[in-house]
Amino acid sequence: MIRAAIVGIGWWGRMLVNAVQGKSAAIRFTAGYTRTRAAAEDFCAEHGIVLAKDLDALLADPAVDAVVFATPHSQHGPQVERAAAAGKPVFMEKPFTLDVAGAERALDAAARAGIMLGVAYPRRFHPAVAELKARIADGRLGVLSHCQSEQTAPAGLSMPADYWRSDPAEAPAGAMTATGVHSVDLLIHLFGRVDYVYCLSHRRVMARLEDTTVVLLGLANGMSATLYCSLVTAVSARFAVFGTKGCAELWTPEFQFRFVRCPRGRTPGAIPRPPPRSSSTRASIRCWPNSKPSPRRSAASGLIRSRPRTSCTASRCSRRLCARPNATSRSWSHGHRRLRRRDG
């Protein structure tokens, strides 16, 4: 069993510990270090984690086989270098680093030390992503044209302004730093290199951080891609790929997979004309109420649906409505006036 150490025992560090502690036969957290020791003592005692006095002492401990980091983003690069110098394999939370130079130094240190280095992009291994990648590879989506993704969460609505995640220095890419990097990783995983990027990032709600970010990307394979991410709206996750044979989509935070096939036997881009209207269409219902349809609320969806009345409400008219409307045009004629309804 791997004896791991956790560095950074805040909200997310505890999530990582709880995910495996006592549940996995392959790994267990036995040691830890955090800047706020007093706040983590009870949690570590409950989970059998011995707190080190500092990071150097933890890295020098021969009983530690690997180190998991859940620390502020700006510390990631130097921490990888220090762990590599101590010969410890590393699992680093995303984003890996905040600039290219820092990433290159960390990668070089890991390569020289010969350690295993992993970054927390687990969505690559999701079964729905594997299915999407297989369909792209075997041509079931046809010629790919575009990828559209969104990643949102309401964390910024309650995040304190002095919290480190609210610091623009720790999140220089705005909302993309915390959430959108997952979508960027999937883009690279599925389609390869990105050639150019256009980005709009702005602050709508949060005190300091740019909480809403929109990105347009051009990929080396000729595709385009868009990314929307926000920290100030409801939870949403969507990753859709459009091709000439259909659209494959990963949606909801659980990444449910669905595929919509392009219709066959029709010229691409051709829109079929509607059938011509006939006299029987207009005569399919003889009466329609002057008043508005009575609303009906669906308990399941909360939507308002309309149900036509069964008798005419026009003044001095007692005729019954026809019970067999024409399902194609939905047109009705009335002796007092003619109304036409088009279902959307």
Structural domains of the chain sorted by starting position, each given as residue range(s) with its CATH number in brackets: 2-120 (3.40.50.720), 124-261 (3.30.360.10), 279-344 (no CATH)
Model confidence pLDDT, tens digit, residues 253-298: 899 999 999 987 655 555 566 666 555 544 444 444 444 444 444 4
Confidence band for 302, pLDDT divided at 50, 70 and 90 = very low
Which pLDDT belongs to residue 111?
A: 98
Among 97, 103, 109, 129, residue whose Cα is nearest residue 239: 129
- Element holding 101 (H helix, E strand): helix 100-113
| CA distances to 75, 315, 339 from 335, in Å | 78, 11, 11
| Cα 99 from chain centre | 23
Max Cα-Cα span within the chain: 96
Which pLDDT belongs to residue 271?
A: 59
Q: Is 40 helix (H, G, I), strand (E, B) or coil?
A: helix
| Tokens matching residue 271 | 């829109």
What are the phi and psi torsion angles at 276 (to 5°)? -65, 150
Within a 13 Å sphere around the CA of 281, how many CA atoms are in the beta-carbon half? 12
Measure the CA–CA gap between 325 and 306, rounded to whole angstroms: 15
Contacts of 141 (CB under 8 A, 6+ apart): 135, 241, 242, 243, 244, 245, 246, 247, 248
Confidence band for 301, pLDDT divided at 50, 70 and 90 = very low
What are the phi and psi torsion angles at 146 (to 5°)? -155, 155
Mean pLDDT of 220-227: 97
Mean pLDDT of 133-143: 97
Which pLDDT belongs to residue 327?
A: 42
Among 120, 252, 126, residue whose Cα is nearest residue 182: 120
| Tokens matching residue 46 | 């409950």
Model confidence pLDDT, tens digit, residues 14-72: 999 999 999 999 999 999 999 999 999 999 999 999 999 999 999 999 999 999 999 99
Q: Considering the chain, what is the average pLDDT of its residues?
A: 85
Which pLDDT belongs to residue 268?
A: 57
% of the chain with per-residue pLDDT over 70 = 77
Which pLDDT belongs to residue 92?
A: 97
Model confidence pLDDT, tens digit, residues 68-95: 999 999 999 999 999 999 999 999 999 9
Mean pLDDT of 94-116: 97
Measure the CA–CA gap between 291 and 123, rounded to whole angstroms: 54
Write the DSSP symbol of residue 35.
S
The larger pLDDT score, comparing residue 323 to residue 224, is at: 224
Which pLDDT belongs to residue 200?
A: 95
